[in-house]
Amino acid sequence: MQSMFDERNWLAWLVKVRIIILTFLLGIELAVAQFTPTALPLWLFVSALLLWYTFSLFYVLLLSFWQEHRVQALLQVLTDLAMVTLVVHVTGGVDSSLNFLYPLVIIVACILLPRGWAYMVAAGAFILYGAILELNYYGVIPSYSTTHPRLKSLQAIIFINLFAFLAIAYLAGLLTAKLRQVDVQLKRASGALENLQALHENIIQSVSGGLITTGLDGHITLVNTAAQKLLERSENDLRGQSVKALFLDPLPNVGAEPAHAEIRFSAPNGFRKTFRVMVTALTVPERGTLGFVYTFDDLTEIRRLEREVRMQDRLAAVGRLAAAIAHEIRNPLTSIAGSVSMLSGIPALSDEHRQLLQIVTRESERLNNIITDFLAYSRGKQYRFDKVNLVPLLEDTLTLLEHRLIAENTGIRIERRLDVKEAWALADGDKIKQVFWNFCENAVRAMKGGGTLTVSAEPAGEDWQINFADTGPGIHPQQTEKIFEPFQSQFEGGTGLGLAIVYQIVQAHDGKVWARSKLGQGTTFVVRLRGIGVDERPEAKSGASQHSVNINASDASPATSAAAAGGKAHG
């Protein structure tokens, strides 16, 4: 297939070169005839060239639909031999200066035909040229030459051309064979190079980690498939950009050894990822450093799990501490409250004394509420898992909150974006309501001057995701990472246990909860719960049933203790 393609190209090239030569010869001869008197029959010369033009156009058409390229090559070479002989005859025979066209035809035959055919074409050129000269000499055909050499001189010219034609055929055939051999080697080398390049590209694209190459100026030149997925952008968007502009943290500096660092990346959807990036110099022997290679992988999930483990350990420790001291504090607190109540009944107390007793009573109640939260956080809770629709639970919470906001005239508006009417999950409805109410309460307390609370529910794969977004002042990123840890309240008078209890409830439901926030742009709390089908029975779920489940924080391991449920939630 490849050789046929090459022969076709050579045939097309031959037609083009032939037309150029004929046009050049016609122009030269017309110019000479215009300025110099000549005895040559100009009309016959022009007629011969026009006939040659006609053959060329015919071969152009033949090439478009006839696939026998070897036969076409032979026909074109034989036609050129006959036309060269005719042109040499009409331009003077032995006096003609166009006999150089014979070597051109022989060279073309060496290129298009096997070497044996090339020698036969050379012999045919000798026979035709010699026949023209002999026939002109003996007057068999009309001669247009102006000189009449003797027979020995004529024979010498013929045999000199014989040796010239054979020498040209030999040298041209030898050169063509070498060129064909080099062409085959070049094709093999080119094929091997293409295979090697394809292999390298496949290796780069198949690497599971992200890979980016840049020039010395730091602009991206190559991005593999894994890097495009991690960065959530296409190669066209990334190519040509500065690699430093992609990340939130500075990239590691290139040294004698590969440098690495953990840096943050903000995805187009607003989520932040953590990447481990390693950079090395792209060095080519004898050319030095041409750029840099950045390899990176995603540590976001690993770091999230590490934070959850640390948080669960802390929650378990706080739970054990709360269980140990809550009762010890409540007993003397009850005695203090009773004594103060008795003292307040003495008639002889002054107004100042009564005011001091009221302060003691109020602070005792506040301390009692804190102890209640401690006990709610540490106490073992029972969960009644059942198939519940999350949408009515969310609607009930929002309706209750909406009436309270209107009554208090807070200036806060609730916007519902519930894309679904049913969101079935295996959960404890009362505990999930507690989670919803805590998020709403925190949003209301964050928007002291009014604002909008946007609540949305949407499917997330096989799970259900519910978002609570406020338009408050937002939370600092360092506080966002610790917001579900105990005693991290951002509100005055809060115990800091509300979101910790929420975290326990969500973990007990085998769900996920997180917060997204930017200073000045509000905060969004996200809870994701595992969904079930409408006809799916709770008994089909592993470890869950309609019966109550008791999880005791004081008896559980750290991971299980953090997943324990616990009572009333206050921000």
DSSP state of 459: E
The reported pLDDT for the residue numbered 286 is: 78
Q: How far apart are CA 457 and CA 420, in angstroms?
A: 7
The reported pLDDT for the residue numbered 546 is: 41
Res 556 pLDDT > 50? no
Res 570 pLDDT > 70? no
Res 468 pLDDT > 90? yes
Are the C-beta atoms of residues 220 and 240 closer than 8 Å to each other? yes
DSSP state of 242: B
CA distances from 87 to 55, 108, 314 (A): 14, 18, 105
The confidence band for 553, taking pLDDT boundaries of 50, 70 and 90, is: very low
The 10s digit of each residue's pLDDT in 123-157 is 888 888 888 888 888 888 887 777 777 888 878 88
Q: Superfamily for 304-571?
A: Histidine kinase-like ATPase, C-terminal domain (3.30.565.10)
Range 443-472 average pLDDT = 90
The reported pLDDT for the residue numbered 571 is: 42
Q: How far apart are CA 251 and CA 260, in angstroms?
A: 8
CA distances from 417 to 458, 491, 549 (A): 9, 27, 33
If you write DSSP's letter for every residue of 266-314 in order, what string do you get?
E-TTS-EEEEEEEEEEEEETTTEEEEEEEEEEE-HHHHHHHHHHHHHHH
Question: Under 8 Å CB-to-CB from 52, ≥6 apart: which residues?
Answer: 18, 22, 83, 87
The reported pLDDT for the residue numbered 453 is: 92
Res 32 pLDDT > 50? yes
The 10s digit of each residue's pLDDT in 371-430 is 776 666 666 567 888 999 999 999 999 998 888 888 888 889 999 998 888 889 999 898
| Planar angle of CA 56, 165, 3, nearest 5 degrees | 50
Q: How far apart are CA 168 and CA 205, in angstroms?
A: 53
Task: Measure the CA dihedral 174/179/180/181, to 10°.
Answer: 90
State the average pLDDT for the chain: 78
- Count of positions (residues) in the chain: 571
Most confident of 57-71, 279-293, 350-364: 279-293
Range 423-450 average pLDDT = 89
Poorest-pLDDT segment among 4-13, 58-67, 439-448? 4-13
Res 542 pLDDT > 50? no
Res 213 pLDDT > 50? yes
The reported pLDDT for the residue numbered 528 is: 92
The reported pLDDT for the residue numbered 331 is: 72
Q: How far apart are CA 274 and CA 249, in angstroms?
A: 10
Q: How far apart are CA 333 and CA 339, in angstroms?
A: 10
Token pair of 56 as six digits: 């060329």
Three-state DSSP class for residue 396? helix
DSSP state of 35: H
Where is pLDDT greater, at 106 or 313? 106
| Planar angle of CA 433, 438, 441, nearest 5 degrees | 120
CA distances from 345 to 339, 348, 358, 498 (A): 10, 9, 12, 36
Range 496-518 average pLDDT = 84
Q: Superfamily for 207-298?
A: PAS domain (3.30.450.20)
Backbone phi and psi for residue 542, each to the nearest 5 degrees, phi listed first: -70, 130
Question: What share of the chain in percent tops pLDDT 90?
Answer: 7
Range 62-70 average pLDDT = 75
Task: Name the pTM for this structure.
Answer: 0.45
| Planar angle of CA 514, 393, 502, nearest 5 degrees | 30
Q: How far apart are CA 380 and CA 409, in angstroms?
A: 38
The reported pLDDT for the residue numbered 470 is: 92
Question: What share of the chain in percent tops pLDDT 70?
Answer: 84
The reported pLDDT for the residue numbered 33 is: 66
Range 245-253 average pLDDT = 85
Question: Under 8 Å CB-to-CB from 11, ≥6 apart: which residues?
Answer: 59, 63, 69, 72, 73, 76, 112
Domain residue extents for the chain: 2-189, 207-298, 304-571
In 288-314, which positions are buried (b, 16+ CB within 10 angstroms) versus exposed (e)? Answer: eeebbbbbbebebeeeeeeebeebbeb
The 10s digit of each residue's pLDDT in 403-413 is 888 888 888 99
Res 46 pLDDT > 90? no
